[in-house]
């Protein structure tokens, strides 16, 4: 039998607020345990939550970016369960009326674009952390993270392969970073993913029984965990068994999923509207302000880069993945006389290589957009060749100055004087009678050797185009 | 008329994390059944078209500015904890 | 000293007739003498004398406010920094709060002297003060009887003149019913008027802090100081608190008092009904008019309340898990066992019963039938009041259908206990202000409370009417024998 995979993803994104969603605790990562856990975070008797405006703003920003309905009235509810990292015994979340309603995200898993539906996105508070192993027979509880604002983004079961799931996640990850609503740091838990996976006979309308995979917090693990889970479910069904609806944990070391015993007990979260928090009603002015703050979205910007700058779609996509990179490109493209395509090639090529080498983001680049534009100008006006430009780039990266001063200091300016080039060409032609003969017999390829000789004699400074033309003119004579 | 039996009490107590045993569940089952009878009086009134009321006031949520205002008071807070060490609250080992 | 109003006390201190320290010592010694009432869980004598000394400095320097140096006590539901805050529970028997409730801070800032924490029904769940882990409180009018609840300790303390005034909280009648049963004045302001920050939560959409005092005037003075917007409570109203005392002396001529026939039915003890009729005639004599109004759904308030309050409580009390504070069982097998034992040991029977009801009505399959149904009824009850207030300025009736009952009388019957709230809890459901004032005594000499209910945010009218009633009568000045 042919099987079809159905995947829906629930992504928890930590929002980049300074303070927690319901208290004045800092959200900074990595503080000593429980030093960012105030009376509200440890749920002392009598304390109350007060909602952070910025968390609402970031959630709405996301909603607008995915073209979703924004619910002007949303309601915080309590999700009741006992766990040591949940100090109140309930999590404040949104249940029946989330802040962000239905929207969508376009992905490109490699075989053409596809639209993935987003069911909803709701605000909630993060739990603390349980630390096992460091305290003997005990589990240690650190509540620094408790109350960090989360946006839980729930997709429709629209993905049909692990590759699509990963493409969706990457797109979402890029988007939240681009919007500046989350740092997306997966190691620190700022971007976490659960996957609902089921299979069904190809062509079937009904969904199969799904399992929920937890703890898949890298793009690589998402793909592996889902792949493993699909095979496990197919094996069960092909052996005549039935898939049990359950929560499963992905074990990266063994590359397998296993049932989470601690979650076996049937959950009854007893959601009800939180009486401590009246309904959140967003005013027109608030929504207008968020709309105003919305940057040009990656999707729109990609299309503009293709149309306006004539970039290849793949390049435009890569550039707009990161907002800072796209900004950098635009700054270079506007400042230089070089072709935008040249700017794009240099950013995705030399610049990215240099940035990756040092592991720094583009905003920390040692060559700023004006400096790169200056270098590209010298290529555009034929002062230097592309090849020489790479040496100049390295020198700039090493802090030797701007393009002009390096070209000047090293005497790299291209020879464009026709007389001077002709003299060298004559010299080379005189020294290469064999090659001249071969060319005249029809072997066009030897022109490359001759160009090389000229470049060698001029230490690369001759304008290659001019050299080529001069050679051909003289050979054809 | 609803009634709650001992098994249901045991289930509710489990959800609410209250230790119970047969005797206790039996005892509470009697009370809870009578209380539920009282609550069922609600059914005498038709509420078909009524909007549920969650808050006794018609106000909107106030949103505060995103400012860090809390300072660490870990020592004060952990002084009243049943068991804490190295800045962590300790609980019996959690098995995942 | 103990039979005088707050204004009198302040005047005397200003004149130097006695100091706050002397006044505080006087009340502390009365508290010690009245130990058999069991009205207090914690007495903070040393701290009180320090605060009194500070108040005396302020009084001498001429920077005293109307409450500076006035002794008072807090219901043990308000968190007090450095002082045990037990909420009447074994769960918090050893809990010393690291912070002050907003109410506690405001009254301290007003210069009041806090002498201790009063006994109460465990987590404010009860109408007789018998569910306290620290034992029942006795009614100073008749010590074999209950003082009402849940603010029984506060009410007994004020009735026995052990403190001029006490803070209290009211979720379904917990200020007004003990005020009635102890023959004093108790006001529950409109929901949102007094900050709930630092008040251990029972049912968040119903809980409201208020005052127990011997007169409406004293209650008005203290309420004014404790009320007002608090940014730490999202349900706190951004509304100016009226000058309650400024309007106390206004005539109540032409005030229209609504009399719901549902409040004068068969369930009311005859002596209570008679006393309330007399009180209404007294108000008419003062120029008020009466009009019959309808609160057709008031009867359903009891089941509605006993769905919503336990539902919220079941969630509010989940934080008591023995992890960060509070009782942790000495022995347990694993984490879940620790939770279950700590909570079963730490919570008393009534609290566990309400947690179970609340858990049940919120659980899967019952939510709509109970919780949503009750929320709809809540709206109908609130709408009834809105309609009634189209025809009147305030509503009057008995606070409680009966007077103080014997300790132990309703212990085995939770439902009989719940029916004590029949006239009070619909006021919480609607979020309205309510006050109970003493309006006489039954044949056994037990006090009877007159209940006045105001429009939303209109504490001013009920305080005004209560005060005028107290100017015309002397019930509020009658202290229980042995405590006069």
Report the half-sphere exposure of B52 (CA within 13 A, side-chain side).
14
pLDDT value at position A216? 85
Beta bridge partners of A281: A73
Question: In this structure, what are the phi and psi dihedrals at residue C42, rounded to the nearest 5 degrees?
Answer: -135, 135
Q: Which run of H or of E encompasses A77?
A: strand A76-80
- List CB contacts (< 8 A) between A24 and chain B: 67-70
Pairing of strands A76-80, A272-273: antiparallel
Annotated active-site residue C174? The verdict is yes
Q: How far is residue A157's CA from residue A9's CA, in Å, rounded to a whole number?
A: 7
- β strands within A283-351, DSSP E: none
B79 close to A (CB below 8 A): no
Question: In this structure, what are the phi and psi dihedrals at residue C465, rounded to the nearest 5 degrees?
Answer: -65, -40
Q: Which of C20, C89, C128, C150 is catalytic?
A: C150
Beta bridge partners of B92: A138
Q: How far is CA A30 from the centre of its chain?
A: 23
Put the strands of the sheet holding A3-14 in their side by side order. Answer: A103-107, A114-125, A149-155, A3-14, A191-201, A211-214, A247-251, A256-259
Q: How far is residue C464's CA from residue A425's CA, in Å, rounded to a whole number?
A: 111
Contacts of A262 (CB under 8 A, 6+ apart): B94, B95, B96
- β strands within A306-417, DSSP E: none
- Please calculate the CA angle C174-C178-C181 and round it to the nearest 5 degrees: 150
Nearest of A47, A3, A1 to residue A24 by alpha carbon: A47
Q: Is the pLDDT of residue A265 over 70?
A: no
Nearest of C76, B70, B75, C322 to residue A40 by alpha carbon: B70
Q: What is the pTM of this model?
A: 0.90
Query: Are C177 and C188 within 8 A, CB to CB?
Result: no
Alpha-carbon Rg of chain C, whole angstroms?
21
Q: Can you tell me which residue has the tokens 């076996």?
A: A264
The residues in C 366-385 lying below 8 A from B, measured between CB atoms, are: 370, 372-380, 382
pLDDT value at position A336? 93
* Nearest neighbour of C357 by CB, restricted to B15, B32, B83: B32
- The chain A residue lying nearest B69, using CA atoms, is A24
Task: Name the residue with higher pLDDT: A297 or C81.
Answer: C81
Contacts of C75 (CB under 8 A, 6+ apart): C117, C118, C120, C151, C153, C154, C166, C167, C168, C169
* Nearest neighbour of C92 by CB, restricted to A45, A80, A271: A45
Average pLDDT over residues A204-220: 90
Report the half-sphere exposure of C466 (CA within 13 A, side-chain side).
35
A437 CB burial (10 A radius; 0-12, 13-18, 19+): exposed
Q: How far is residue A211's CA from residue A7's CA, in Å, rounded to a whole number?
A: 10
- List CB contacts (< 8 A) between C87 and chain A: 45
Q: Can you tell me which residue has the tokens 């793949």?
A: A314
Question: In this structure, what are the phi and psi dihedrals at residue A460, rounded to the nearest 5 degrees?
Answer: 80, 5
- With b meaning 16 or more CB within 10 Å and e meaning fewer, what string describes C416-454? ebbbbbbbbbbbbbbbbbbbbbbbbbbeeebbbbbbbbb
Report the half-sphere exposure of A31 (CA within 13 A, side-chain side).
20
> What was the ipTM of the complex prediction?
0.97
The residues in A 33-62 lying below 8 A from B, measured between CB atoms, are: 33-39, 41-42, 44, 50-56
Show the tokens assigned to C218: 């004293």
* Nearest neighbour of B91 by CB, restricted to A55, A76, A84: A84
- Determine the length of chain B: 96
CB neighbourhood size of A113 (10 A): 10
pLDDT value at position B26? 96
Q: How far is residue C155's CA from residue C165's CA, in Å, rounded to a whole number?
A: 9
Is B13 in contact with C334 (Cβ distance < 8 A)? no
pLDDT value at position A264? 45
Q: How far is residue A67's CA from residue B74's CA, in Å, rounded to a whole number?
A: 43
Show the tokens assigned to B44: 């005498």
Q: How far is residue A472's CA from residue B51's CA, in Å, rounded to a whole number?
A: 88
- Please calculate the CA angle C94-C96-C99 and round it to the nearest 5 degrees: 160
Query: Are A103 and A118 within 8 A, CB to CB?
Result: yes
Is C414 in contact with B94 (Cβ distance < 8 A)? no
What are B10-28's pLDDT values in tens digits?
999 999 999 999 999 999 9
Beta bridge partners of C194: C227
Show the tokens assigned to A437: 């003969």
Q: How far is residue A146's CA from residue C323's CA, in Å, rounded to a whole number?
A: 15
Show the tokens assigned to A477: 């004579």
Q: How far is residue C297's CA from residue C73's CA, in Å, rounded to a whole number?
A: 37
C11 close to B (CB below 8 A): no
Question: In this structure, what are the phi and psi dihedrals at residue A466, rounded to the nearest 5 degrees?
Answer: -65, -40
CB neighbourhood size of C42 (10 A): 19
Q: Is the pLDDT of residue B2 over 80?
A: no
Query: Are A13 and A181 within 8 A, CB to CB?
Result: yes
All chains having 3 or more CB pairs closer than 8 angstroms to chain C: A, B
**Predicted confidence band of residue A310 (pLDDT cuts 50, 70, 90):** very high
Nearest of A40, A91, A56 to residue A289 by alpha carbon: A56
CB neighbourhood size of A370 (10 A): 12
| Residue A410, helix vs strand vs coil | helix
Contacts of C207 (CB under 8 A, 6+ apart): C124, C169, C170, C171, C196, C199, C201
**Predicted confidence band of residue A100 (pLDDT cuts 50, 70, 90):** very high
Average pLDDT over residues A343-359: 94
Which of the residue ranges A87-96, A112-121, A207-216, C168-177 would you say has the lowest mean pLDDT? Answer: A207-216
- The chain C residue lying nearest A42, using CA atoms, is C324
Q: Which run of H or of E encompasses C360?
A: helix C349-362
CB neighbourhood size of C50 (10 A): 14
- List CB contacts (< 8 A) between C456 and chain B: 57
Which residue out of A37, A46, A267 would a mutagenesis test of the C interface target, given it has the greatest number of C Cβ atoms within 10 Å? A46
Pairing of strands A90-94, A76-80: antiparallel
Annotated active-site residue C373? The verdict is no
Q: How far is residue A331's CA from residue A337's CA, in Å, rounded to a whole number?
A: 12
Q: How far is residue C116's CA from residue A76's CA, in Å, rounded to a whole number?
A: 37
Query: Are B43 and C304 within 8 A, CB to CB?
Result: no
What are A148-177's pLDDT values in tens digits?
999 999 999 999 999 999 999 999 999 999
- The chain B residue lying nearest A28, using CA atoms, is B68
Is A281 in contact with B92 (Cβ distance < 8 A)? no
pLDDT value at position A266? 61
Q: How far is residue C194's CA from residue C169's CA, in Å, rounded to a whole number?
A: 10
pLDDT by position in tens, chain C (length 484): 899 999 999 999 999 999 999 999 999 999 999 999 999 999 999 999 999 999 999 999 999 999 999 999 999 999 999 999 999 999 999 999 999 999 999 999 999 999 999 999 999 999 999 999 999 999 999 999 999 999 999 999 999 999 999 999 999 999 999 999 999 999 999 999 999 999 999 999 999 999 999 999 999 999 999 999 999 999 999 999 999 999 999 999 999 999 999 999 889 999 999 999 999 999 999 999 999 999 999 889 999 999 999 999 999 999 999 999 999 999 999 999 999 999 999 999 999 999 999 999 999 999 999 999 999 999 999 999 999 999 999 999 999 999 999 999 998 888 888 888 999 999 999 999 999 999 999 999 999 999 999 999 999 999 999 999 999 999 999 999 999 8
The residues in B 72-91 lying below 8 A from C, measured between CB atoms, are: 73, 76-77, 79-83, 89, 91
- The chain A residue lying nearest B86, using CA atoms, is A33
Q: Is the pLDDT of residue A333 over 70?
A: yes
- The chain B residue lying nearest C309, using CA atoms, is B54
**Predicted confidence band of residue A259 (pLDDT cuts 50, 70, 90):** confident
DSSP of C275-318, one letter per residue?
HHHHHHHHHHHTT-EEEEE--TTGGGHHHHHHHHHHHHHHHHGG
DSSP of C141-152, one letter per residue?
TBTTB---SSSH
Q: Can you tell me which residue has the tokens 């009568």?
A: C473
DSSP of B47-58, one letter per residue?
-TTPPP---SS-
Query: Are C272 and C401 within 8 A, CB to CB?
Result: yes
Q: How far is residue C225's CA from residue C220's CA, in Å, rounded to a whole number?
A: 9
Q: Can you tell me which residue has the tokens 């209560």?
A: C466
Which residue out of C103, C208, C319 would a mutagenesis test of the A interface target, given it has the greatest number of A Cβ atoms within 10 Å? C319
* Nearest neighbour of A84 by CB, restricted to C98, C201, C335: C335
Annotated active-site residue C376? The verdict is no
A77 close to B (CB below 8 A): no
Q: How far is CA C294 from the centre of its chain?
A: 26
Q: What percent of chain B has pLDDT over 70?
A: 96
- Determine the length of chain A: 477
Q: Which of C174, C215, C298, C400 is catalytic?
A: C174
Q: Which of C20, C75, C89, C410 is catalytic?
A: C75
Average pLDDT over residues B43-57: 94
Show the tokens assigned to C178: 């003990």
Pairing of strands C165-170, C208-213: antiparallel
Q: How far is residue A393's CA from residue A407's CA, in Å, rounded to a whole number?
A: 10
Q: Can you tell me which residue has the tokens 């620094």?
A: A144
pLDDT value at position A132? 85
């Amino acid at each position: 039998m042919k099987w079809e995979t159905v995947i829906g993803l629930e992504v928890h994104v930590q929002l980049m607020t300074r303070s927690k969603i319901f208290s004045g605790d800092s959200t900074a990562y990595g503080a000593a345990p429980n030093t960012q856990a105030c009376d509200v975070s440890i749920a002392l008797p009598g304390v109350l939550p007060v909602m952070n405006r910025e968390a609402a703003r970031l959630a709405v920003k996301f909603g607008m970016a995915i073209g979703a309905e924004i619910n002007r009235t949303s309601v915080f509810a309590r999700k009741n369960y006992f766990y040591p990292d949940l100090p109140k015994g309930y999590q404040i979340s949104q249940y029946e009326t989330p802040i962000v309603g239905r929207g969508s995200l376009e992905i490109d898993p490699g075989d053409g674009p596809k639209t993935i539906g987003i069911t909803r996105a709701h605000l909630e508070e993060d739990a603390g952390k349980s630390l096992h192993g460091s305290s003997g027979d005990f589990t240690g509880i650190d509540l620094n993270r408790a109350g960090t604002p989360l946006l839980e983004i729930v997709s429709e079961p629209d993905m049909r392969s692990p590759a699509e799931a990963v493409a969706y996640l990457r797109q979402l990850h890029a988007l939240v970073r681009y919007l500046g609503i989350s740092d997306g740091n997966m190691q620190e838990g700022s971007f976490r993913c659960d996957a609902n996976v089921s299979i069904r006979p190809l062509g079937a309308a009904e969904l199969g029984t799904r399992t929920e995979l937890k703890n898949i917090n890298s793009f690589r693990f998402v793909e592996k965990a889902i792949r493993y889970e699909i095979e496990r479910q197919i094996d069960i069904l092909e052996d005549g068994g039935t898939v049990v609806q359950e929560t499963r944990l992905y074990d990266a070391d063994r590359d397998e999923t296993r049932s989470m015993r601690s979650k076996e007990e049937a959950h009854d979260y007893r959601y009800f509207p939180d009486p401590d928090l009246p309904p959140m009603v967003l005013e027109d002015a608030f929504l207008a302000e968020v709309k105003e703050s919305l940057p040009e979205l990656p999707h729109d910007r990609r299309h503009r880069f293709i149309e306006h700058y004539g970039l290849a779609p793949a390049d435009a996509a890569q550039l707009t993945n990161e907002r800072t990179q796209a900004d950098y490109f635009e700054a270079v493209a506007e400042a230089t006389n070089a072709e935008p395509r040249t700017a794009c090639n240099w950013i995705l090529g030399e610049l990215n290589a240099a940035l990756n080498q040092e592991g720094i983001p583009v905003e920390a680049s040692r060559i700023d957009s004006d400096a790169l534009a200056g270098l590209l100008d010298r290529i555009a006006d034929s002062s230097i060749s592309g090849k020489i430009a790479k040496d100049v780039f390295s020198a700039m990266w090493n802090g030797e100055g701007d393009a002009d001063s390096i070209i000047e200091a090293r005497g790299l300016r291209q020879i464009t004087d026709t007389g001077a080039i002709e003299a060298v060409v004559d010299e080379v032609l005189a020294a290469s009678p064999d090659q001249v003969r071969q060319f005249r017999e029809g072997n066009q390829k030897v022109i490359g050797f001759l160009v090389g000789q000229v470049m060698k004699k001029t230490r690369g400074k001759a304008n290659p185009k001019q050299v080529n033309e001069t050679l051909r003119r003289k050979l054809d004579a | 008329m609803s009634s709650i039996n001992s098994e249901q009490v045991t289930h509710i107590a489990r959800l609410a994390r209250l230790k119970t045993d047969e005797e206790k569940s039996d005892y509470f089952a009697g009370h809870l059944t009578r209380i539920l009878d009282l609550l069922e009086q609600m059914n005498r009134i038709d509420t078909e078209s009524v909007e549920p009321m969650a808050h006794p006031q018609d106000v909107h949520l106030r949103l505060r500015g995103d400012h860090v205002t809390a300072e660490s008071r870990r020592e004060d807070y952990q002084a009243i904890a049943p068991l804490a060490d190295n800045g962590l609250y300790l609980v019996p080992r959690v098995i995942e | 000293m103990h039979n005088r109003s707050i204004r009198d006390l302040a005047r005397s201190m200003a004149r130097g007739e006695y100091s706050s320290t002397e006044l505080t010592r006087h009340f502390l010694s009365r508290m010690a003498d009245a130990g058999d009432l069991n009205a207090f869980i914690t007495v903070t004598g040393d701290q009180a004398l320090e605060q009194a000394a500070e108040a005396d400095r302020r009084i001498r320097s001429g920077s005293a406010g109307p409450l500076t140096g006035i002794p008072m006590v807090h219901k043990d539901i308000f968190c007090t920094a450095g002082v045990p805050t037990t909420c009447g529970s074994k769960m918090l028997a050893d809990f010393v709060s690291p912070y002050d409730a907003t109410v506690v801070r405001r009254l301290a800032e007003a210069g009041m002297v806090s002498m201790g924490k009063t006994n109460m029904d465990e987590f404010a769940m009860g109408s007789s003060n018998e569910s306290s882990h620290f034992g029942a409180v006795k009614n100073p009018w008749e010590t074999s009887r209950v003082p009402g609840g849940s603010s029984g300790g506060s009410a007994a303390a004020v009735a026995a003149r052990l403190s001029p005034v006490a803070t209290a909280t009211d979720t379904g009648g917990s200020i007004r019913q003990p005020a009635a049963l102890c023959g004093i004045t108790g006001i529950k302001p409109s929901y949102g008027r007094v900050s709930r920050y630092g008040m251990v939560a029972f049912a968040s959409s119903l809980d409201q802090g208020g005052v127990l005092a011997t007169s409406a005037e004293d209650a008005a003075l203290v309420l004014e100081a404790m009320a007002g917007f608090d940014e730490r409570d999202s349900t706190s109203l951004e509304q100016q608190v009226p000058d309650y005392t400024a309007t106390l002396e206004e005539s109540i001529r032409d005030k229209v008092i609504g009399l719901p026939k549902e409040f004068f039915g068969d369930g009311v003890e005859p002596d209570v009904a008679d006393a309330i009729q007399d009180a209404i005639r007294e108000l008419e004599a003062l120029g008020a008019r009466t009009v019959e109004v309808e609160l057709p759904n008031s009867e359903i308030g009891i089941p509605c309340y006993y769905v919503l309050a336990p539902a919220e409580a079941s969630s509010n009390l989940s934080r008591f898990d023995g992890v960060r504070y509070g009782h942790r069982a000495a022995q347990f097998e694993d984490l879940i066992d620790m939770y279950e034992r700590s909570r079963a040991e730490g919570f008393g029977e009534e609290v566990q019963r309400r947690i179970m009801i609340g858990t049940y009505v919120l659980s899967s399959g019952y939510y709509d039938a109970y919780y949503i149904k009750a929320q709809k009824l809540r709206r109908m009850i609130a709408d009834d009041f809105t309609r009634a207030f189209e025809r009147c300025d305030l509503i009057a009736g008995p606070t409680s259908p009966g007077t103080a009952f014997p300790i132990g009388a309703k212990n085995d019957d939770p439902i009989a206990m719940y029916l004590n709230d029949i006239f009070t809890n619909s006021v919480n459901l609607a979020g309205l202000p309510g006050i109970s004032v003493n309006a006489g005594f039954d044949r056994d000499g037990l006090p009877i409370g007159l209940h006045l209910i105001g429009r939303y945010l209109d504490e001013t009218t009920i305080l005004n009417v209560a005060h005028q009633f107290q100017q015309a009568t002397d019930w509020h000045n009658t202290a229980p024998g042995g405590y006069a």
